[in-house]
Amino acid sequence: MIAVNPMDSASLLAAFGALGVLVVIFAESGLLVVGFVLPGDALLFPAGVLCAGNGPQGARLELWQVLVCAAVGALAGGQLGYLLGRRGGRALLARTSNRRLKEGAVRAERLLARYGYGKALVIGRFIPMLRTVLHPAAGALGVPTRTFTVWQVVGGLLWSQSFVLIGYTLGSAVPHIDKYLLPLVGVVVALSLLPLLAEARRTRRDRRSPSR
């Protein structure tokens, strides 16, 4: 029996390949609580590297399969999260004792208010943790279904396809990139967290500024 760590991208890809990408991205994009602990960016990028046949022991995935699975997982997960939000998202968020979930819901609401539905749904896809709660929050806040669907498709495709293709491009261009894969994944995750840190810093600054 193969031991699989659902939080370890290498373990998931070795065990399930492109199908693992679909399942994890689906859960991260739409399932509250569960999605917070799953890798997203940290799965798509190595999957792209493996598509170039530049992984450990020559491990290789098919690029078209990974791209399709990543897209299906992102779009289906986002739509499910929205539907769950419309059918009781506010009550769920009110009852939860998960501090990260509550903070994520507050950030999602601020993002939607600050940038508008379209831009927020695209930007939110690229921010870990926030993208898990953004879609249920959009449903709970009453974002129109057509508007949500259009922009979550745009954001889901941009996010899922770009990370896979970046990994594939680097995997094709850099020999033995698997030796540097772990640090590269760390860089990718750190960069994706920058908008979240900037938002937190802006919020603290706004709280400290004197009211007019």
Write b or e for each residue in 175-195: b if 16 or more Cβ atoms lie within 10 A of its Cβ, otherwise e. Answer: eebbeebeebbeebeeebeeb
Specify the residue for token string 């760390």: 186
d(CA 61, CA 19): 11
Specify the residue for token string 């699989």: 4
Burial tier of 65 (Cβ tally within 10 Å: 0-12, 13-18, 19+)? middle
Tokens representing 78 are 């986002």
d(CA 109, CA 130): 10
Structural contact between residues 83 and 135, judged by C-beta atoms closer than 8 angstroms? no
- State pLDDT tens for residues 70-100: 999 999 999 999 998 888 766 666 666 667 7
Tokens representing 125 are 């896809």
d(CA 71, CA 28): 13
- The pLDDT confidence band at residue 15, using thresholds 50, 70 and 90, is low
d(CA 179, CA 176): 6
CA gyration radius for the chain? 18
- State pLDDT tens for residues 143-165: 999 999 999 999 999 999 999 99
Helix (H, G, I), strand (E, B) or coil at 183: helix
Give pTM, 2 decimals: 0.79
- Would you state the pLDDT for residue 1? 39
Q: From residue 171, how far is each of 111, 126, 151, 158 by CA, in Å?
A: 34, 21, 30, 20
